[in-house]
A = this chain, B = another copy of it.
Amino acid sequence: MQYLSKWFPAVSWLRHYSRANFVNDSLAAVIVTIMLIPQSLAYALLAGLPAEMGLYASIFPLIAYALFGSSRTLSVGPVAVASLMTASAIGSVTASGAVDYVTAATTLALLGGLMLIALGIFKFGFVANFLSHPVVSGFITASGIIIALGQMGPLVGISLRGDNLVSLVATLNQHVQQAHLLTAMIGFASLAFLLFARFSLPRILGVMGWGKRAISLTSRSAPVLMMLVVIPLSMFLDFEARSVPIVGAVPSGLPVFTAPLLNWSLITELAMPAFLIALIGFVESVSVGKTLGAKKRERINANQELVALGAANTAAAISGGFPVTGGFSRSAVNFDAGADTQMASILTAAGIGIATLFLTPILYFLPKAALAATIIVAVLSIIDWKILQQAYRFSIADFAAVTLTIVITLSAGVELGVLAGVGVSLGLYLYQTSKPHFAIVGQVGMSEHYRNIERHEVVTHAEILSIRVDESLYFANASYLEEIVFDQISQKPLLSDVILMCPAVNIVDMSALDALNEINDRLRDLNIELHLSEVKGPVMDSLQRSDFLEKLTGEVFLSHHAAVSEVRSKLLSR
């Protein structure tokens, strides 16, 4: 049982599942199902895929996540950023015509799914840590802008291709005179209604004394209300005959399980985008899971989430879907609607299944412009300009990372954008650690505490140089350490002892060991003793594996105060 619940967190809530839980989960499932129908269709179109794939991606992936996921309220399915990335990835492989869109999309989901499962099993979740918060925020903001701009096309009845700002603006500019008046009217009317429901309605309902959850659910059900108005209009005014682009024939019935086509050249082409989509999706999903989890004192297990999202994507791949992940808005609706457990997601999957069986003849009439409006309003919430301002105030490194991520994503597309963000973050971190901060320290008053002579009132001695090393010593900064020490020595003629204070040294690698040996040798030639203080356990262990401690002219002291006291008494006794 212990073992089962380790791999299937579902076991732990199923054991105590009550009738009350079922009532709550059923209610949440009805609300989420209704909200998901327009969203699923919209994201399939955003990904450049047939509308039904959006519905398929909202059935079996939900069941797979329900079995493996560690969050009780997270809801998986197609989301905006992953759909844009999917569009970009399959756009490039299908350009030659050798592969169709559906095959490319399912292959992408399969690759991403298997990669996530592998990362989870081997406990490699830490790779996601290399996507820093500012980079992810910047990337999502830039993606939101690209998505919103891209949907301006369908909103007015023209088709746009392009996954970056430059090509989108160029094609928009080129085709704008082909805009279709009636389509544009439908699009802008839908947009206006959704914007009202999103931004003004909550305030109005708030003034009327509605509760927070009721307001949130009402506001989020706006896309369904819009459909309930637009679809009948489309049927009776015969939008199709008036050349308004509509969703059209959606095959009715449940998805058919198929083994994805395994084509080696396609796999190699899609491996990188699949990895990036999976990773960004994972980061997004875990962040949603944590936010909701915090409200219910629930812990999210990153490696378990990798397995669960991997299973969800694999399920999407074999049931005709495309890459999925935990989405913020759908999970928030699920939570607000009172879902207790993942049973709500299983019931939602059943709901979407019923919709694909019976609602497709009605969805036929839905104008694509209305779906475009849905997407535009949805992505407005992920565009976060504040991150730029926060990063600017906080540090130049974070600001550089977020700015570059936004600029490259907007100008060169999503894949390069993410990669550049990660590259710049790592590069800046390595640059900072390669020129670390060093401080000359002295005694604070009569305490045993030693701090930077430039920031505190401290006592120092002409014969003793105390240098605090503020970084792990490794190959990237080993030679810099030598420079700093020799620079300081040349300024202090009376020097007899150098003490390197190492509370911030967490690693010493072989290159740094060479540098320490070099420093020790050269100080010995100058008749200066080298001591170390506050060397931490793990570092001491590695020094003991070399012959450095035998060659060291001075000693290693537990505390810096002990080092200074000892050295002073040695000097006085001369």
Interface residue ranges, A against B (CB under 8 Å)? 126, 129-135, 294, 299, 302, 390-391, 393-395, 397-398, 425-426, 429-437, 439, 444, 447-449, 451-452, 455, 470-472, 474-480, 486, 503-507, 509-511, 513-514, 521-522, 534, 536-538, 542, 545-546, 558-559, 561-562
Contacts and interface: CB of A to CB of B under 8 A. Distances in A.
Nearest to A501: B503
Contacts of A545: 393-395
A432 B507 contact: yes
Nearest to A391: B510
A455 B537 contact: yes
A129 B514 CA distance: 13
B394 A542 contact: yes
Nearest to A486: B299
B394 A513 contact: yes
* Residue of A134, A470, A509, A546 ringed by the most chain B CB atoms within 10 A: A509
Contact of A133 (B134, B514, B546): B514
B398 A509 contact: yes
Contact of A434 (B129, B486, B507, B513): B129
Nearest to A546: B394
Contact of A447 (B395, B444, B448, B522): B448
Contacts of A503: 503-504, 534
A393 B542 CA distance: 9
Contacts of A471: 472, 506
B475 A130 contact: yes
Contacts of A477: 129
Contacts of A478: 129, 133
Contact of A510 (B398, B429, B513, B534): B398
Nearest to A294: B522
A132 B511 contact: yes
A133 B510 contact: yes
A18 to B, nearest CB: 26
A126 B131 CA distance: 25
B425 A475 contact: yes
Contact of A435 (B126, B393, B434): B126
A425 B477 CA distance: 13
A431 B510 contact: no
A137 to B, nearest CB: 9
Contacts of A436: 506
Contacts of A398: 509-510
A559 B433 contact: no
B559 A447 contact: yes
Given A130-B476, A452-B536, 4 more contacts: A126-B480, A394-B545, A395-B509, A429-B474
The CB with the most chain B CB atoms within 10 A, among A294, A455, A470, is that of: A470
Given A129-B478, A393-B546, A451 B558 contact: yes
Contacts of A538: 437, 470
A479 B302 contact: yes
Contacts of A395: 509-510, 542, 545
Given A394-B545, A504-B503, A511 B134 contact: yes
Contacts of A504: 503-506, 536
Contact of A449 (B434, B480, B558): B558
Nearest to A286: B479
A510 B129 contact: no
A447 to B, nearest CB: 7
Most buried by B among A429, A432, A455, A558: A429
Contacts of A394: 509-510, 513, 542, 545-546
A536 B455 CA distance: 10
Contacts of A476: 126, 129-130, 132, 429
A162 to B, nearest CB: 27
A129 B506 contact: no
Contacts of A509: 132, 394-395, 397-398, 429
A85 to B, nearest CB: 21
Most chain B C-beta atoms within 10 Å of own C-beta, residue among A133, A433, A559, A562: A133
Contacts of A521: 294
A510 B480 CA distance: 26
Contacts of A522: 294
